[in-house]
Amino acid sequence: MGAGMAEFVQRSDVDTLADWDKYCHYVAGLVGIGLSRLFSGSEFEDQLVGEDTDLANSMGLFLQKTNIIRDYLEDQVDGREFWPRQVWSKYAKKLSDFRQSEMSQNALWCLNELVTNALLHVPDVMKYMSRLRNQSVFNFCAIPQVMAIATLARCYNNPKVFQGVVKIRKGEAVKMMINATNMENFRGIMRPFCEEIFSKMSPQDPSYSVTKEIVETIRQLTETKHNALTIQTTLSPLHVSCVLVVAAMTWQYWTQIHWIYEHYLDWH
């Protein structure tokens, strides 16, 4: 991990999609692999969970790519560029051009292509989650994943990504976190966000066909008895407070390494 971070410290941006995957592997994929090995080594989970490093890595990449997509403006303001040149160069001469109003359509097309790329990890996420048996491990892994797909759904085709930070409402986030306790519920939470993306897709989008294909795949993987989870709407203040604390700790753990790396660039 340290060697990988050192490699990217020497670079001003991320060039290809392969580089993007490599960067996300160093800062998040390795975390997923390490945690998976701990889950198996402690016998909380089957040995396969720790051995299948491809799935564990994909779990981390899904989260990291979501963070990078969402944080476009923050990174631009701080002089960092993590969107891969291979994608954004098809739509603009400079990544910063997307902040200009006349580039709004191209900006959205680039954004949608990156969201689509991140969604390609969802089948791996579903497979990984289906293997988990320990309740605490399941909850720990489920919370960041449902937060990520919710974030991607809100970012997709959303010009606000280039104007500020797109966020999920706290109440909505708490309800998801409370209910993401088993595979059936997990599917039920994921599916509405998949449908949200589908509702915003346009045939004029250059990445439409790829997006449609992965969305259809996710639809099949998230089929449930009711196709969507009915989430309870009444929560006690204490219940909400406890869930917020747990959620914040979980999300912070997954994103802390990315934060350290970004600020390391600033210090050097």
Distance (Å, whole) CA 115 – CA 207? 10
- Rounded Cα distance between 179 and 138, Å, is 12
Whether 45 contacts 132, CB under 8 Å: yes
Active site residue 80: yes
Residue of 153, 132, 243 lying closest to 197 (CA atoms): 153
> 191 catalytic, yes or no?
no
| Total Cβ atoms within 10 A of residue 174 | 20
DSSP for 60-72, please give it.
HHHHHHHHHHHTH
**CA angle, 118 as apex, 113 and 8 as ends, to 5°?**
95
Q: Is 208 a catalytic residue?
A: no
Q: Is 23 a catalytic residue?
A: yes
Q: Please identify which of the residues 26, 62, 70, 128 carries the catalytic annotation.
A: 70
> Tokens standing for 104?
């709004």
Among the options 39, 98, 140, 193, which is catalytic?
140
Question: Which positions ≥6 away from 74 have C-beta within 8 Å?
Answer: 165
Catalytic residue among 23, 82, 98, 261: 23
Return d(Cα 98, Cα 111) in angstroms, integer.
10
* 29 in Cβ contact with 61 (< 8 Å): yes
What tokens were used for 228?
A: 């969507």
Catalytic site residue from 37, 44, 80, 208: 80
Catalytic residue positions, numbered: 23, 70, 80, 140
